[in-house]
């Protein structure tokens, strides 16, 4: 506590514990830095991951180091902010204690910002036989699998089996599905067509499957239509109003009995709260999310905030989407709310300001709806590139990503085509 003489009594400082160093936790920690409180960030990983570019790691466009940054390197310049690498196992809310796998941590305020997980909607077979894109290990595993699959196809003499190996199905028509479909198509036709001269790339199929009747539902109709037309123009098969029923090791099962023979299913069709939300024993709503009030606190716990994908916050009668901009604004709000409370000031309800949405479709092509301006093609792509560079953490990461993008733009080359796993390819 500041006593006016510039000295802070360490024992009197309020402690804020932030669980998770994703977009929401990062913003909350930065906003609390230097405000006379002890801030402890807890994460089971020692790095911050820039998830929007995860698909580029999976498609051999970027190295994983380009989209990660050590948490300790981030917080060392932030006064009063500390990092503890630990697995959170539960909480004693009455005793204001966070339970960790290797101990416990007391708090005065708690911000739950551990993010989300892939939602397979109860389909265990799909979870078992598909790839996801939520974490760094998922992207590396998918990249290894794509490369291993082409190696297998290059020596497969049976045309039916080879066709199944060269069929890639992406389920989910949101930004991740659209962006990965475009990136994979460019990887195959720009690089693999030269790497594997023994294969006929006309045998490859990339299919984007969406249960709804449109792609990118957060965007206006004109941009959704442009996206579908652009993907089809690239040779990607877009299947709308198509529901998945299950999966096996070599096929995807669709509602109605149709079957797609494939060894690669990428699931990007749903998001839910991370498993920690259930382990905490708090009330949960749709998607396993924790319901929060207008000030983002959990009912009955005015010192516990839930933000980002962990939280179910409503605005104008609708649940806020599970996207990075929501998490970032909520992280900043939670920090300000704590500061205002400590200063005895009134806390106004959280209000999300929607700045738009965007997605890249491939080289020199994207769609963007930002601040009321709707763009397609090259100009939208430039806006997409600029915003993603701006939000990346670390000068080195921005520079390396910019250099990689520049190299790819001029030479159409995706350089990270290496198999880093010692495991045998899936049979």
22 class by beta-carbon count within 10 Å (0-12 exposed, 13-18 middle, 19+ buried): buried
Q: In terms of pLDDT, which residue wins out, 341 or 416?
A: 341
- Domain of 367, CATH number, reads 3.50.50.100
Helix (H, G, I), strand (E, B) or coil at 146: helix
336 and 193 belong to one structural domain? no
Going by DSSP bridges, is the β-strand pair 47-49/68-70 parallel, antiparallel, or unpaired?
A: antiparallel
Q: Is residue 248 part of a domain?
A: yes
Give dist(CA 135, CA 409) in Å, integer: 26
137 and 104 belong to one structural domain? no
Cα–Cα distance list, 134 to 197, 215, 284, 311 (Å): 33, 20, 21, 17
264 and 280 belong to one structural domain? no
128 and 37 belong to one structural domain? no
Q: Is residue 378 part of a domain?
A: yes
Mean pLDDT, range 225-237, rounded to an integer: 96
Query: Does the structure show a pLDDT above 90 at 99?
Result: yes
Q: Which residues have CB under 8 Å from 260's CB, separation 6+?
A: 167, 169, 207, 251, 252, 254
Query: Does the structure show a pLDDT above 70 at 219?
Result: yes
Last residue of a domain, one of 314, 342, 370: 342
Helix (H, G, I), strand (E, B) or coil at 36: coil
- Domain of 22, CATH number, reads 3.50.50.60
201 and 229 belong to one structural domain? yes
What is the DSSP code (8-state) at residue 376?
E
Beta strands in 68-161 (DSSP E): 68-70, 81-85, 88-92, 97-100, 103-106, 109-112, 116-118, 131-132
Q: What percent of the chain has pLDDT over 70?
A: 96
If phi > 0 it is left, if psi is from -120 to 50 it is alpha, else beta; for residue 115 that is left
So which residues are the catalytic ones?
179
Give dist(CA 73, CA 65) in Å, integer: 14
> How many domains does the chain fold into?
2
Mean pLDDT, range 222-245, rounded to an integer: 96
Beta strands in 234-377 (DSSP E): 237-239, 244-248, 251-254, 259-261, 264-267, 271-273, 290-291, 297-298, 301-306, 311-312, 314-315, 318-319, 356-362, 365-370, 373-376
CB atoms within 10 A of CB 94: 7
pLDDT on residue 423? 57
Q: Which residues have CB under 8 Å from 49's CB, separation 6+?
A: 22, 67, 68, 135, 136
178 and 254 belong to one structural domain? yes
Give dist(CA 104, CA 42) in Å, integer: 11
Last residue of a domain, one of 289, 319, 342: 342
pLDDT on residue 408? 81
Domain housing 92: 10-44+86-118+272-342
150 and 237 belong to one structural domain? yes
**Span of 31-45, 298-312, 412-426 with lowest mean pLDDT:** 412-426
**Hey, which residues does 314 pair with through a beta bridge?**
319
Q: How many residues does the chain have?
A: 427
Read off the pLDDT of residues 320-348 as tens digits, 9 standing for 90 and up.
999 999 999 999 999 999 999 999 999 99
pTM of the prediction? 0.92
Tokens of 133: 């894109």
Q: What percent of the chain has pLDDT over 90?
A: 88
Q: Which residues have CB under 8 Å from 128's CB, separation 6+?
A: 247
Q: Is residue 302 part of a domain?
A: yes
| pLDDT band with cut points at 50, 70 and 90 for residue 422 | low
301 and 192 belong to one structural domain? no
| Mean pLDDT (the chain, rounded) | 93
| pLDDT band with cut points at 50, 70 and 90 for residue 362 | confident
Query: Does the structure show a pLDDT above 60 at 87?
Result: yes
Tokens of 187: 């990887």
260 and 276 belong to one structural domain? no
Query: Does the structure show a pLDDT above 70 at 137?
Result: yes
């Amino acid at each position: 506590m500041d006593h006016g003489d510039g000295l802070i009594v360490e024992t009197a400082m309020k402690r804020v514990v932030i669980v998770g160093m994703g977009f929401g936790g990062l913003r909350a920690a930065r906003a609390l830095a230097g405000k006379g409180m002890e801030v402890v960030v807890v994460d089971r990983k020692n790095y911050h991951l820039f998830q929007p570019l995860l698909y580029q790691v999976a498609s051999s466009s970027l190295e994983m180091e380009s989209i990660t940054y050590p948490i300790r390197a981030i917080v060392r310049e932030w006064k009063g902010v500390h990092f503890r690498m630990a697995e959170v196992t539960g909480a004693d809310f009455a005793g204001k204690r966070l339970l960790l796998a290797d101990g416990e941590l007391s708090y005065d305020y708690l911000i739950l910002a551990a993010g989300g997980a892939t939602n397979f909607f109860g389909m265990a077979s799909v979870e078992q036989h598909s790839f996801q894109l939520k974490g760094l290990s998922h992207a590396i595993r998918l990249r290894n699998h794509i490369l291993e699959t082409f190696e297998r196809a290059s020596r497969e003499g049976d045309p039916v089996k080879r066709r199944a190996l060269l069929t890639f199905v992406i389920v989910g028509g949101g930004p991740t599905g659209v962006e990965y479909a475009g990136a994979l198509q460019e990887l195959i036709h720009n690089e693999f067509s030269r790497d594997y001269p023994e294969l006929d790339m006309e045998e490859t199929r990339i299919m984007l499957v969406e249960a709804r009747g449109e792609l990118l539902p957060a965007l206006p109709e004109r941009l959704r239509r442009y996206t579908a037309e652009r993907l089809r123009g690239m040779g990607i098969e877009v299947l709308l109003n198509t529901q998945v029923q299950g999966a096996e090791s070599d096929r995807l099962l669709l509602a109605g009995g149709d079957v797609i023979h494939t060894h690669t299913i990428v699931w990007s069709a749903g998001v839910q709260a991370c498993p920690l939300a259930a382990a905490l024993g708090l009330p949960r709503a749709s998607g396993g999310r924790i319901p929060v009030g207008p000030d983002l606190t959990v009912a009955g716990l005015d010192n516990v905030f839930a933000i980002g994908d962990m939280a179910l916050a409503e605005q104008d009668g609708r649940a806020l989407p599970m996207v990075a901009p929501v998490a970032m604004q909520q992280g900043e709000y939670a920090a300000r709310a704590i500061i205002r409370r400590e200063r005895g000031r009134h806390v106004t309800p959280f209000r999300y300001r929607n700045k738009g949405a965007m997605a890249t479709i491939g080289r020199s092509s994207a769609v963007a709806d930002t601040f009321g301006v709707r763009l397609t093609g090259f100009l939208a792509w430039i806006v997409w590139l600029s915003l993603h560079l701006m939000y990346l953490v670390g000068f080195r990461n921005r520079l390396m990503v910019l250099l990689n993008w520049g190299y790819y733009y001029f030479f159409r080359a995706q350089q990270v085509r290496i198999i880093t796993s010692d495991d045998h390819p899936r049979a």
